[in-house]
């Protein structure tokens, strides 16, 4: 269950945020006992530092939270969000003089910090509650937090309980909650419906491969199509991964999880768009029926693909789904996938790269990413590398040799299957937070979805500005 704001503002403990430059003025506004207390506690308004000021009856009267200086703040985001889990249990509110932008970021960060995955183990102590700050669109922030919670829950659930069958159930539940239509193509029907590469990648699993196709929205609105990689577990196939590399492969459906979280935000906000969500849900397993290195597959688009590594399977299932989505000439098509280790080597786990040929889309995404503290970094569709994905015996190579520019060559591969969409962007996300950070608990991660939601809201809904 996603976090929500607390009620009871009359009894909430106020939080006053202060940076190092404003500490002297703050101290001067306090009475002598509080000044003495601050000196004794060594409070210097450093980033992340807080102090509890006692009330006359010995209870917590208020909280001072340090915001440090600009240089310290540049080294991260959601700096104050962990107050939700560091403060004593209770209900808190921000002081009326809090800067609106700071209040917005802290409010969303508080909700995100409150996330717990407790399906298999009782969660620890509950996070403290926060009253929605004045002037903040509380409903919108709760909607964003609910979408992020969905994404994180799906990623955190192990493949034993989140295979293609369970992922289909999750999509059906989402469709039911918002009155969306859903169509599922499963097993041999994928061949009849000309989705051969989804079938090839998933046919070795006991759980049949499938394409999940959700539709929702306003018939007159712009067409927004989201495509998410739903590889529920990736052994690497016959090019089997070593154990260390297989350890986090329950998160290989992180692209699907993030587009579903994004779809939830869009539907819950009733944005005036025609939404379509395509999730190829498969498990890349090993059996006598597994696809093999040097096989040549024919895609829905008709392009032939030589398989030089069965561990480069995500781009195969995405290719058929992208082709299907592209056939309707969407106004905007977004692809999200935990696709390459090369992206992580280049940018690390906390900064997802994205690719687009449309400068206007890139500008809008970057503005939204900055606005909502959901960072992204544009990498190029570098055309001179096209020859790297063109083998001798087929149109395309799914795993070019040499090891260079792996994130770019994967993106170029996907771009070959998109011709009609007015705008297209591919996001190569990690989908995982290795160590807990403010507003980002360790585990499954919602990455890029908030920025995309903000961008779509500004373009098509006339709303936005949520942190």
Query: How far apart, in whole angstroms, are the C-alpha atoms of residue 150 and residue 123?
Result: 17
CB 184 within 8 A of CB 274: no
Please state whether 381 falls in left (phi above 0), alpha (psi between -120 and 50) or beta.
beta
3-state secondary structure of 365: helix
Please state whether 20 falls in left (phi above 0), alpha (psi between -120 and 50) or beta.
alpha
3-state secondary structure of 78: coil
For the chain, give the number of residues: 467
Backbone φ and ψ for 238, nearest 5 degrees, come out as -65, -25
DSSP assigned state of 3:
-
Among the listed residues 203, 276, 315, 440, the single catalytic one is: 315
CB 467 within 8 A of CB 132: no
Catalytic, 46? Answer no
DSSP assigned state of 460:
I
Query: How far apart, in whole angstroms, are the C-alpha atoms of residue 241 and residue 198?
Result: 20
Catalytic, 315? Answer yes
For the chain, the 3-state helix, strand and coil shares in percent, each to the nearest 5, are: 40, 20, 40
Query: How far apart, in whole angstroms, are the C-alpha atoms of residue 138 and residue 144?
Result: 10
Among the listed residues 27, 193, 241, 378, the single catalytic one is: 241
DSSP assigned state of 55:
P
Backbone φ and ψ for 119, nearest 5 degrees, come out as -65, -35
Q: What is the sign, positive or negative, of the torsion defined by CA atoms of 293, 297, 299, 302?
A: positive
Q: Which residues are catalytic?
A: 241, 315
């Amino acid at each position: 269950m996603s976090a929500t704001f607390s009620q009871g503002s009359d009894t909430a403990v106020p939080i006053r945020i202060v940076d190092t430059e404003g500490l002297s003025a703050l101290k001067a506004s306090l009475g002598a006992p509080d000044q003495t207390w601050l000196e004794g506690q060594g409070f210097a308004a450093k980033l992340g530092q807080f102090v509890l000021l006692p009330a006359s009856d010995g209870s917590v009267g208020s909280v001072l939270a340090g915001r440090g200086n600009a240089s310290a703040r540049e080294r991260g985001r959601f700096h104050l969000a962990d107050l939700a889990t560091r403060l004593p249990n209770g209900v808190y509110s921000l002081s009326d003089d809090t800067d609106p932008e700071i209040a917005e970021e802290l409010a969303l960060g508080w909700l995100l910090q409150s996330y717990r995955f407790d399906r298999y183990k009782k969660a620890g102590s509950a996070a403290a509650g926060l009253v929605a700050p004045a002037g903040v669109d509380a409903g919108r922030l709760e909607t964003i937090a609910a979408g992020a919670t969905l994404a994180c829950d799906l990623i955190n659930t192990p493949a034993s309980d989140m295979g293609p069958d369970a992922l289909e159930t999750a999509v059906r539940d989402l469709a039911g909650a918002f009155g969306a239509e859903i169509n599922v193509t499963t097993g041999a029907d994928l061949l009849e419906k000309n989705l051969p590469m989804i079938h090839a990648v998933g046919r070795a699993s006991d759980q049949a491969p499938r394409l999940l196709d959700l539709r929702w929205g306003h018939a007159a609105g712009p067409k927004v199509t989201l495509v998410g990689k739903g590889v529920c577990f990736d052994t690497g196939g016959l090019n089997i991964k070593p154990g260390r590399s297989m350890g986090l492969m329950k998160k290989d459906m992180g692209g699907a999880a993030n587009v579903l979280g994004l779809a939830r935000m869009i539907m819950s906000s009733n944005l005036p768009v025609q939404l379509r969500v395509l999730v190829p849900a498969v498990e890349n397993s090993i059996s006598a029926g597994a696809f093999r290195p040097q096989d040549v597959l024919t895609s829905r688009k008709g392009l032939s693909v030589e398989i030089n590594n069965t561990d480069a399977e995500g781009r195969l299932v995405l290719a058929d789904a992208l082709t299907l989505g592209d056939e309707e000439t969407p106004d905007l098509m977004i692809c999200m996938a935990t696709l390459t280790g090369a992206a992580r080597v280049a940018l690390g786990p906390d900064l997802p790269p994205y690719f687009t040929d449309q400068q206007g889309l890139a500008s809008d995404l970057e503005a939204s990413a900055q606005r909502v503290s959901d960072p992204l970094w544009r990498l190029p569709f570098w055309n001179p590398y096209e020859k790297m994905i063109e083998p001798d015996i087929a149109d395309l190579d799914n795993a070019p040799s040499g090891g260079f520019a792996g994130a770019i060559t994967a993106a170029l591969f996907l771009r070959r299957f998109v011709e009609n969409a007015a705008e297209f962007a591919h996001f190569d996300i990690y989908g995982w937070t290795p160590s807990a950070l403010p507003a980002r608990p360790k585990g499954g991660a919602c990455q890029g979805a908030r920025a995309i939601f903000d961008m779509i809201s500004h373009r098509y809904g006339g709303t936005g500005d949520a942190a």
